[in-house]
Amino acid sequence: MNKLVILIPTYNEATSIVELLDKLSKFRPTTATPFDVLVIDDNSPDGTAGKVDSLSLDWVEILNRPKKGGLGAAYRAGFAQVLSDESYTHIVTMDADGSHRVEDLPAMFSAIKAGKSITLGTRWIPGGSVVNWPKSRQLLSRAGTSYAKLALGIDLHDLTGGFRIYSAELLRSLRLSDMTATGYCFQIEMAMAADLAGAVAAEVPITFVERLNGVSKMSKAIVVEALLQTTRWALARSLRPNADKLHYVK
């Protein structure tokens, strides 16, 4: 039987993380797929970690990091911790702000494939949707995925989305400590690494809901980083495809 752990990075998410854990608490008894949660907190000034601690949920653990280091660094730290536990077969990545719905987890759990696999919650396929996003933000997300898909030759429809399930077998086959992306281009880097490792991919339509509380972490710097880094990866894959694979796959 599969056993999952959900990784949730946080920075100043004291309100939204409590709401998310409440929804997961209600969902947990209804699913046949057991899961735990690891909250990865970057020393949030608003006391996010303390809020999680106060809930006293025995299936929730907190990884306290000394400072804000970016999405990619937080997830890599989380991967390192949970992969030391041989009981976990799959690792879920999920935002703390409510944009990734608990209601979409059953379909994602059902879509998990055996072996090296990546399951993506996808906004831009039939059945997928976004709520409360302006047209400009939708265009930016679609354009980002379209460019990465074309540049990297990866036939997936939501390369910038972060609602995913990785098999532990896949993550253990990757050189995670050699990855460098810090912002949202981390999602592109992980999709590229999974592709290079020969992972089987499944895409599940999800409804993405723009956050109602707190402040979005998206910025122009993050967009520029993703554009420049994706271009560098594309050049590396075209000029040195085998060397690029050796960089990511053990």
Task: For residues 111 and 61, give the distance between their C-alpha atoms in angstroms, rounded to a whole number.
Answer: 26
pTM of the predicted structure, to 2 decimals: 0.92
Amino acid sitting at position 77: A
Query: How far from 242 is each of 137, 162, 239, CA to CA, in Å?
Result: 35, 27, 9
User: How many separate domains does the chain show?
Assistant: 1
Q: What are the residues facing 245 on neighbouring strands?
A: none
DSSP letters along 69-97, please? --HHHHHHHHHHHHTT-TT--EEEE--SS
State the DSSP H helix or E strand holding residue 131, giving kind and residue range, or none if neither: strand 129-131
Q: What are the residues facing 117 on neighbouring strands?
A: 200
Pick 226 or 173 by higher pLDDT.
173
115 burial type by CB count under 10 A (0-12 exposed, 13-18 middle, 19+ buried): exposed
Q: What is the mean pLDDT of residues 8-32?
A: 97
Task: For residues 214 and 159, give the distance between their C-alpha atoms in angstroms, rounded to a whole number.
Answer: 25
Helix (H, G, I), strand (E, B) or coil at 53: helix
Task: For residues 103 and 108, give the distance between their C-alpha atoms in angstroms, rounded to a whole number.
Answer: 10
Rounded percentage of the chain residues whose pLDDT exceeds 90: 70
| Residue 145 banded pLDDT, cuts 50, 70, 90 | confident
Residue 224 belongs to a domain with what CATH number?
A: 3.90.550.10
Q: What is the mean pLDDT of residues 78-105?
A: 97
Pick 139 or 23 by higher pLDDT.
23
Among 117, 158, 148, smallest CA distance to 232 is for 148
Task: For residues 165 and 117, give the distance between their C-alpha atoms in angstroms, rounded to a whole number.
Answer: 8
The domain of 100 spans 4-248
| Residue 78 banded pLDDT, cuts 50, 70, 90 | very high
| Residue 117 banded pLDDT, cuts 50, 70, 90 | very high
How is residue 180 written in tokens?
């460098």
- In terms of phi and psi (left: phi > 0; alpha: psi -120 to 50; beta: otherwise), the region of 195 is alpha
- In terms of phi and psi (left: phi > 0; alpha: psi -120 to 50; beta: otherwise), the region of 37 is beta
Residues 169, 170, 171, 174: what is their CA dihedral angle, to the nearest 10 degrees?
120
